[in-house]
Copies of this chain bind each other. A is one copy, B any other.
Amino acid sequence: MNIPLTPIRMLRYAREQFSSRTAIVCGNDRFTYEQFAQRVSLLACALIKMGIKKGDRVAFLSLNCHRFLEAYYAVPEVGAIFVPVNTRLGASELAYVFNDAGAKVLFFGDCFLDTVEALRARVPTLQFLIALDTDGPRRDWMAAQNYEESLASSKPYHANLMDIDENSIAEMFYTSGTTANPKGVMLTHRNVYLHALNYCLTLNPNRLTVHLHTIPLFHVNGWGTVHYSYLGAVHVIISRFRTAAVFRLIEQERVTSINLVPTMATALLEAPERKDYDLKSLERIRVGGSPPAPALIRDIEQQIGGTCFCAYGLTEASPSLTMALIKHDSGWSGEMRLEKQATTGFPIPGAEVRVVDLKGNDVPRDGSTVGEIIARSDGVMAGYWGQPEATANAIRDGWLYTGDMAIVDQDGYLLIVDRMSDFIISGGENVSSVELENALLTHPSVAEAAVVPVPHEKWGEVPKAFIVLKPNALVTEQELIDFCRFRLAHFKVPRSVQFVPTLPKTATGKVLKKDLRSKNMVP
């Protein structure tokens, strides 16, 4: 008997088994699993009344709120594709994404009213622009009913579970586009369902998990936490990351689980109001993004609480691939434990993750040989929306090539050292731009650093550094080069340094190295 693997089973299960339990805490609103699932069934009906059919794209532009979670389940329920978009994108970037996706419906929060007004004429596919907030301003281009009005005039709709094709697309997320135009990552019902199972299996969330959604829900799956519903977990929503609000919610709702990026972690550590709150309920803090120093992990555990460890994934993998949990029986403690928890981690169940050299051979587990991370997991996407060539380039011989460069230690823990595109090959030697940037950042005058390759007749490529100085800092190009020479192998030292007032960045704060490279090409 094959039951389709689809996330809509998860909410149905929670409704059946945990109907009266709190599902969502959002501002002053609280919803039980019965209420949550009921609202989802109403939203599904509202979508059908709009003419939404299997395969249609439904976009969502909003800060975190309970309606976001509702859409995560209602859109796949009607067989449509859920497209949450990055709230930090500008109107032009959003218009590009909506057009590329061919979105029919856009739900949006009040604070994006002007943005939506500015872009709507440029996206001819959009048929319904629906306000999420109840008392927001009305414009004539909006749908006649706002979100709550749509629900109020609907009746519960439930798909026949067996009619769901587990290989159809359930969710689509756009890449951040640091190197090219954003691409739509197509995740199937099966991808999302199995990812959730593997994710839950790794973290052993029991039925007491209270998760605070610190990560924007437009990030793929909220990093997988959206489907904690399966276990009857409590979703605590925070619309924007504010340290005081985070602390207050942890105390008030006895939050057990949060996910952070390093900047959030630093903000929480630096917030003086921390000591006013009881944070003892925290059991697990996952840090994603770039691997932080073990000291950060230690500081979080000591000053905030729980067990803190890193995790790694990418949109194309639903996203989780590895977590830096401590392998039991390891006997690690103290600094050793912190060091392991600060790595990229080892694969979660359901994910095969290898680090390979240019010939496709696994690098030795020696903690020094660098290779590219490739992955084969239940969460890996069906492909990029409408981009068979990009898909074929990303998934080769059945493996997803991540473009992330890593080393593997003797215990099987990975550590990402760079993006492949940021690696510089100089005279046959690999130069890690991240290593070079980290070295430059230790200079007292340097605020930000980005290193890219520039062509060189003799060496092929040599590293060049772009530097943002701290206010009032004074340092010369030669001084910085000498500073690096003292610390790094000769071939790793940048050949030139260019001082810039700011570095070009994406909406999510990633440095746009492609811009630096093209800039660099200008004589």
Interface residues of A (CB under 8 A from B): 1-3, 5, 9-10, 13, 16-18, 21, 162, 167, 190-191, 194, 197-198, 200-201, 204-208, 230-232, 327-329, 346-347, 349-350, 352, 376-378, 380-382, 395, 398, 400, 412
* Cα separation A204 to B382 with both chains bound (whole Å): 30
* Cα separation A352 to B347 with both chains bound (whole Å): 30
Copies of this chain held together in the complex = 2
- Do A16 and B347 touch (CB < 8 A)? yes
A87 to chain B, nearest CB (A): 29
Q: What residues on B are CB-neighbors of A207 within 8 Å? A: 327-329
Q: What residues on B are CB-neighbors of A208 within 8 Å? A: 328-329
7 contacts between A and B (CB under 8 A): A1-B380, A1-B395, A2-B167, A16-B412, A17-B347, A204-B204, A207-B329
- Do A3 and B349 touch (CB < 8 A)? no
* Cα separation A194 to B197 with both chains bound (whole Å): 9
* Cα separation A162 to B395 with both chains bound (whole Å): 15
Q: What residues on B are CB-neighbors of A377 within 8 Å? A: 1, 3
Q: Give the 7 A-B CB pairs with smallest separation, nearest first.
A: A1-B380, A207-B328, A204-B204, A208-B328, A197-B197, A204-B206, A3-B378
Q: What residues on B are CB-neighbors of A200 within 8 Å? A: 201
A1-B380, A3-B377, A17-B412 known; 13 new pairs, CB 8 Å cut-off, are A1-B382, A1-B400, A2-B167, A5-B194, A16-B347, A16-B352, A17-B346, A18-B327, A200-B201, A204-B204, A204-B206, A206-B328, A208-B329
A55 to chain B, nearest CB (A): 19
Q: Which of B16, B21, B205, B349 contacts A231 (CB 8 A)?
A: B349
Q: Which of B9, B204, B346, B376 contacts A3 (CB 8 A)?
A: B376
Q: What residues on B are CB-neighbors of A191 within 8 Å? A: 1
* Cα separation A377 to B5 with both chains bound (whole Å): 11
- Do A2 and B190 touch (CB < 8 A)? yes
- Do A329 and B2 touch (CB < 8 A)? no
* Cα separation A1 to B13 with both chains bound (whole Å): 26
Q: What residues on B are CB-neighbors of A162 within 8 Å? A: 398
- Do A1 and B381 touch (CB < 8 A)? yes
Q: Which of B197, B230, B327, B381 contacts A17 (CB 8 A)?
A: B327
* Cα separation A205 to B5 with both chains bound (whole Å): 23
- Do B380 and A349 touch (CB < 8 A)? no
Residue of B nearest to A379 (CB): B1
* Cα separation A207 to B376 with both chains bound (whole Å): 23
Q: What residues on B are CB-neighbors of A2 within 8 Å? A: 167, 190, 378
* Cα separation A5 to B377 with both chains bound (whole Å): 11
- Do A231 and B201 touch (CB < 8 A)? yes
* Cα separation A377 to B190 with both chains bound (whole Å): 15
- Do A328 and B232 touch (CB < 8 A)? yes
Q: What residues on B are CB-neighbors of A194 within 8 Å? A: 5
Residue of B nearest to A377 (CB): B3
Q: What residues on B are CB-neighbors of A21 within 8 Å? A: 327, 329
Q: What residues on B are CB-neighbors of A352 within 8 Å? A: 13, 16
* Cα separation A231 to B348 with both chains bound (whole Å): 10
* Cα separation A329 to B21 with both chains bound (whole Å): 8
* Cα separation A382 to B2 with both chains bound (whole Å): 8
